Structure 1
Amino acid sequence: MTPKKEDYLKIIFELGGKQKKVANKQLAMALGVAAGSVTEMVGKLVKEGLVAHTPYAGISLTAKGRTIAERLVRRHRLWEVFLTDKLGYDLSDVHDDAEVLEHVTSENLMDHLEKFLDYPDQCPHGGVIPPKDGGDYQEGSHMVLADIADGTTVTVERFIDNRDLLKYMGDIDLKLGEQILVIDHAPFEGPITLKVVATGETTTVGFKAAHYVFVK
């Protein structure tokens, strides 16, 4: 399997494709590619039995696709934990090196790494680390900040695994676990104004970025 196909499976998983349909537009935005590229790759993944595609509804992982995605996500997120907790990486810098490491690591090394890290259940940006055996586990929220109505208070639970997004979250100082009040959605896909409940400070999040901040 090519790295590009693996990237598609991982992002479909991150966007909730284990449980629901993910829109082509979501994939295009998350991967930074054209809609036509998504359509072409999804067609290939369907032929290989890795995803199911329902026109005008979206894409979801098949059982085969879920197994591969969970294995890839487990490897990637365990390396992210190691890089941040043990080597002091900034959150926005871990993705690229974790991407390399996940492809060159044996299962034996992954097992030892997981034990060394004391079996973490989340990566540094809030994503669940699937168990090796693929058994039942509690997925995080797939409710995105962009869809939250004005006047609603939510808790920031997870950021999508994207270097630019993680750097942006650091720049605006929006942290995991913070309670935020959604004040206003600017028209025409403008920024969303938020208030951090603990400090009373206000900030804004871009409309696109708000699709990759998961809240509960």
Structure 2
Amino acid sequence: MTPKKEDYLKIIFELGGKQRKVSNKQISMSLNVAAGSVTEMVTKLVGEGLVIHSPYAGISLTDEGIEIAEDLIRRHRLWETFLVSKLNYKLQDVHYDAEVLEHATSDNLVQHLDDFLGHPKRCPHGGMIPSIDGDYAEESYDLLVDAPAGSVKSVDRFVDNHELLTYLDEIKLNIGDKFLVEEHVPFEGPVKVKLSDTGEEVSISYKAAHYIFVN
């Protein structure tokens, strides 16, 4: 399987494709690729029995696609954890090197890496790390963009996207931050929130709010 196909399986999984339908637009924005490229790749993955595409509904993973995605996610997120916690990488800079390392990692090496790190349950951007047996807690699929004004939420995880993570570093929004959703500004304006710990008001772009999962 090519690395590009693996990237698609990982992002479909990360966006919730194990449990629900993911749109072409979500994949396109997450991978920073053209919509036509998504359509072409999804067609290939359907042909290989790795995803199901329901017209006007979206894309989800088959059982085989889930199994492959879980293994890829485990490798990738363990390397991200290592690079951030042991080599002091910034979160937004870790993805590309983790991508290279995951493709060069044997099963034996990934298990030793897991042991060395103490079997972490989450990667630095909040995603669950499957165990060697494939066990992991379910991730949140509730998006900030859907959180109603007046609700209190906390940041559960971010989609693993360099542009997004750079932006979130700039506005100082972190995993675990608790906040009050104050307002959704009309016409695709920002989501305004007030942080519980500091009382600081933060405006989060409409686009970014589609890739911040809350609980």
Query: Equivalents in 2 of 1:96, 1:26: separation in Å?
Result: 20
Match of 1:20 in 2: 20
Q: 8 Å contact 2:129–2:136 — kept in the other structure?
A: no
Match of 1:155 in 2: 154
Query: Equivalents in 1 of 2:2, 2:86: separation in Å?
Result: 30
- Residue ranges of structure 1 left out of the alignment (5+ in a row): none
Matches within 5 A, 1:90-109: 90-109=90-109
TM-aligned CA deviation for residue 188 of structure 1: 1.4
- Identity %, equivalent residues: 63
What are the Cα deviations for residues 171-211 of structure 1, in whole angstroms up to 9, with x where unaligned? 10011111111111111111111110111100111111111
TM-score by length of 2: 0.97
TM-score by length of 1: 0.97
TM-aligned CA deviation for residue 33 of structure 1: 1.7
| 1:189 has 2:188 as partner | yes
Query: Equivalents in 2 of 1:179, 1:63: separation in Å?
Result: 35
Query: Equivalents in 1 of 2:35, 2:86: separation in Å?
Result: 39
Q: 8 Å contact 2:121–2:136 — kept in the other structure?
A: no
Match of 1:202 in 2: 201
TM-aligned CA deviation for residue 137 of structure 1: 2.5
What are the Cα deviations for residues 157-177 of structure 1, in whole angstroms up to 9, with x where unaligned? 101111121111111001111
Question: Which one is further off, 82-91 or 27-36?
Answer: 27-36
Match of 2:65 in 1: 65
TM-aligned CA deviation for residue 140 of structure 1: 1.2
Query: Equivalents in 2 of 1:26, 1:160: separation in Å?
Result: 11
What are the Cα deviations for residues 4-29 of structure 1, in whole angstroms up to 9, with x where unaligned? 11110000000010111111111111
What are the Cα deviations for residues 123-151 of structure 1, in whole angstroms up to 9, with x where unaligned? 011000012222x4311101110111111
Counterpart residue identity of residue 122, structure 1: R
SS of equivalent residue, structure 1 residue 59: strand
Query: Equivalents in 2 of 1:133, 1:21: separation in Å?
Result: 26
Q: 8 Å contact 2:75–2:102 — kept in the other structure?
A: yes
Match of 1:142 in 2: 141
